Amino acid sequence: MSESVAPAPTRGALRIGDEAPNFIGRSTEGMVELADYRGRWLVFFSHPGDFTPVCTSEFTGFASAIDDFDALDCSLLGHSVDSLFSHLAWIRALHDELGVTVTFPIIEDPTLEIARAYGMVSAEAPNAATVRAVYVIDPDGIVRAITWYPLSVGRSVAEILRMVAALRATHGNDAIAPEGWQPGESLLANPSFTRSDVLAGKSATSWFFQPKAD
């Protein structure tokens, strides 16, 4: 019997800037509570199902990048509606057949309580077969980024790493990250929306497009 506990579903899908709903549940690393991750960044990601080809490729990628996430002071937490027994059998198969050791927790959610609390699925959905979502949660428990992918397309672990790095670089900093930004590159200064600043700019674009050192 599942021991997962989640709050009542939120109204609609979770949005950027919302507090991430807390939950407690069984995982491959023992009981896990979302609140335990306060003080660190967290990538909380769901997958449609264990023993599926795209999910297997994704978990291989996440497991290989665990040190890179740790260097960003970021933890990983996997989730699917499969049971804990299925999770354990799957990571054993990944270990024995592919040489992949999954050290981050994978939480079970057979009743869809967590999935519904996060707005991954509607209250009427019979299953979570289409869920491939990522929530980047900051050290204060606030959702800072959300991505959704379809069943047929795998996520890019490299892009998730880049997104976490960009969120950390701009968090509490008066700067924003441009397209394709990588750690060590210049950020962009937040523009000033006053006529005097616009006219005082050295060029017609300097008031809204000004590089800023990371």
Closest among 16, 37, 8 to 140, alpha carbons compared? 37
| Catalytic choice (6, 55, 112, 187) | 55
The 10 Å Cβ neighbour count of residue 179 is 4
Cα separation, 182 vs 40, in Å, equals: 21
Catalytic residue list contains 74: no
Please calculate the CA angle 197-170-76 and round it to the nearest 5 degrees: 165
Three-state SS annotation for 13-57 = CCCCCCECCCCEEEEECEEEEHHHHCCCEEEEEECCCCCCHHHHH
Q: Give the distance between the most distant pair of CA atoms in the chain.
A: 67
Cα separation, 161 vs 152, in Å, equals: 21
The 10 Å Cβ neighbour count of residue 1 is 3
In which residue are the tokens 């394709």 written? Answer: 180
Query: Would you please indicate which residues are annotated as catalytic (active-site) residues?
Result: 55
